[in-house]
Structure 1
């Protein structure tokens, strides 16, 4: 009679499916937005009050038509210094970036990081089927990476 002893077997943990880290998982969804007819005075006030550096511009139907940023406003402020105009009644539509580069929500964070480096942009609207879902900023991305576990890296 032959006895075989294999010892205590340790059950291997089931492998968790690797969850892809996507833009949708880390984007901001409660956004401040502007309309093309808003004035730069209004934009400056909101950006300063909310401590943000820019925001999407939506038309009446809610479609993304541009982005207005601190840099866009700063250009007008500098121009105002030379023309001695302390108020900025001009419209957002005249100063916003109109050719907006967007990201899809299913894009991986690593691919998004590549876009940030390649294009040197601080924020991307996240759009799906023409609908603005949110925005991912460089800060959102930086906050996401320290939370990564070795298994999701």
Structure 2
């Protein structure tokens, strides 16, 4: 099974020059914990989590009016729509992330989460293993 079969297609992203406050407000409205960050031409350039906003902006890396690019994770770990979901789960576990932007030709086309993998009974064990690895003590403050 491929990522394209389980990913969320209608994913909301924010521009890299959006303010931290605007991104946090969008997260609240959408009730999500992360938002992919794109350039104006829909190129995936990063991702920001609610944890990034709290830890990075409240510890002096940016105030609420700073651009999100000042605190986002710019080393984007992503997959293509044609990635096998076993590989996506393995990557999530290895990189200790719960969500992967889905990128095709540099453009954001979706997002896949551990929850997307877990709802498929056949992949529940793999998603559980990935979550176990992700939930280990965070050595790198991702």
- The answer to whether TM tops 0.5 is yes
* Equivalent residues in 2 for 1:39-58, closer than 5 Å: 39-58=19-38
- 5+ long unaligned stretches in structure 1: 1-20, 81-86, 149-153
Q: Distance in 1 between matches of 2:70 and 2:77?
A: 18
Q: Which has the higher helix share?
A: 2
CA–CA distance in structure 2, aligned partners of residues 142 and 122 of structure 1: 11
Shift of 1:77: 5.0
- CA deviation string 1:58-108 (max 9, x = no partner): 11111111111111101145326xxxxxx6111101011111011111111
Displaced runs of 4 or more, over 6 A: none
1:122 deviates by 1.2
**RMSD between aligned alpha carbons?**
1.9
Larger Rg: 1
C-alpha separation in 2, matches of 1:60 and 1:140 = 28
Unaligned runs of 5+ in 2: 124-142
Out of 111, 118, 121, which is 1:146 matched to? Answer: 121
Of structures 1 and 2, the one with the larger relative CO (CA 8 A, separation 6+) is 1
Give the aligned length. 122
Kept in 2, the 8 Å contact 1:76–1:88? The answer is no
